[in-house]
Amino acid sequence: MSLLNRRHAMLALGAFAANPVLHSQAAKPTWPSKPVRIINPFPVGGGPDGTARIVGEKLACMWNQAVVIENRPGGNGFIAIDAFKRGAQDGTDMVLLDNVHLAAYPHLFRKLPYDPVRDFLVLAPLFRTFFFVCVPNHSPYRSMADLIADAQARPGQLNYGSWSIGNAVHLGSLQLAALTRTRMEHIVFKETGQLYQSVANGDLDFALGSSGTAGPLARAGKLRFLAVMAPQRLQGFEDIPTVAESGGPAQAIVTGWNALAVSPRTPSSTVIQLRRDLTTALREPDIQPKFQTFGYEHYFPTSAEFQQFILAESRRFGSVIAAAGIQL
């Protein structure tokens, strides 16, 4: 077995140590007996922060215990992860992880300040979102076939943007370029607001964005959703074709997702309760409408399904990063 395959196997074993479904008849919990902290690598006010606070409020009511959201943005999430590693290992300290923390950064960084297997026990995903290909409203592109044909005719002339090196939007754009055998310039912006405003202004040829990040400008008629990088059309956006339907490669599928994790040293009984309570909170009927305001959807895979999804994401990101030759 290759080193990479062994790493994938270890990730699968480490991420899912218990299945809460088998323990749905557990006795009334006595945990937690003290406030719980969710360490958040995202800034206050964004979609990931909003969802963490919504879920935290639900859990606080269920447990009759405070759930504190502690924002520690910056440093690719490493500041928050370091605080988590130095925190409680009994489940009362959790960390919110982005998909790139688990599936992309292990391939991207020469020296990573955490081990995705030894440092995290993933509880469950909070949400997932698919990305749209966003173009200026006045763009001449009416389909993905148009955009791809122009990129092939003018190598290196088209540009796209994101907010850093190695985020899901950047890697998704690289994946699109690889699948279409095109070369396009990546422009890095400090803030997501600047990124999508630059698309609207016509300074960028395109950018990938969610309905939460790019939706306001789309609704204002400043930019258009050319296609969605999903296997099928999204609810509420039935008029937006998939990339495949719009003349692009069917493999061009890009998701964003966040998951909560605890220390692998957390007692198994606590892990079981946490997974059960998270699922209960996320299934409450008022949650989905709130998540939809950020462009997020519920995602309830089984432990085995999410395990396979993380492994597939890791392979996909690893392949894109290796092909692009980027490393930090």
3-state secondary structure 127-174: EEEECEEEEECCCCCCCHHHHHHHHHHCCCCCEEEECCCCCHHHHHHH
Distance CA 67, CA 284 (A): 18
Instruction: Please tell me the CATH superfamily of domain 3-129+255-324, with its number.
Output: Bordetella uptake gene, domain 1 (3.40.190.150)
Has domain 132-228 been given CATH number 3.40.50.720?
no
Domains 3-129+255-324 and 132-228 share a fold: yes
Amino acid at 320: V
Strands 255-262 and 93-98 come out as: antiparallel
Residues in contact with 39: Cβ distance below 8 Å, sequence separation at least 6, in sequence order: 70, 72, 80, 83, 84, 87, 93, 94, 95, 96
DSSP-assigned letter for residue 297 = B
Tens of pLDDT, residues 125-164? 999 999 999 999 999 999 999 999 999 999 999 999 999 9
**Strand extents, DSSP E, the chain:** 36-40, 67-71, 93-98, 121-130, 132-136, 159-162, 185-188, 207-209, 223-228, 255-262
Contact by Cβ (8 Å): 261, 94:
yes
DSSP-assigned letter for residue 183 = -
Other Cβ atoms less than 10 A from the Cβ of 17: the count is 14
Distance CA 30, CA 13 (A): 28
**Token pair 């062994």: residue:** 6
Distance CA 94, CA 261 (A): 6
Q: Measured in Å, how far apart are the chain's first and last C-alpha atoms?
A: 27
pLDDT at 307: 83
pLDDT at 9: 44
Domain coordinates in residue numbering, the chain: 3-129+255-324, 132-228
Which residues in the chain come in under a pLDDT of 50? 1-7, 9-10, 12-27
Distance CA 143, CA 244 (A): 10
- pTM for this predicted structure: 0.85
Omega cis (within 30) before 216: no
DSSP-assigned letter for residue 205 = S
**Token pair 């206050």: residue:** 44
Distance CA 149, CA 105 (A): 31
pLDDT at 29: 56
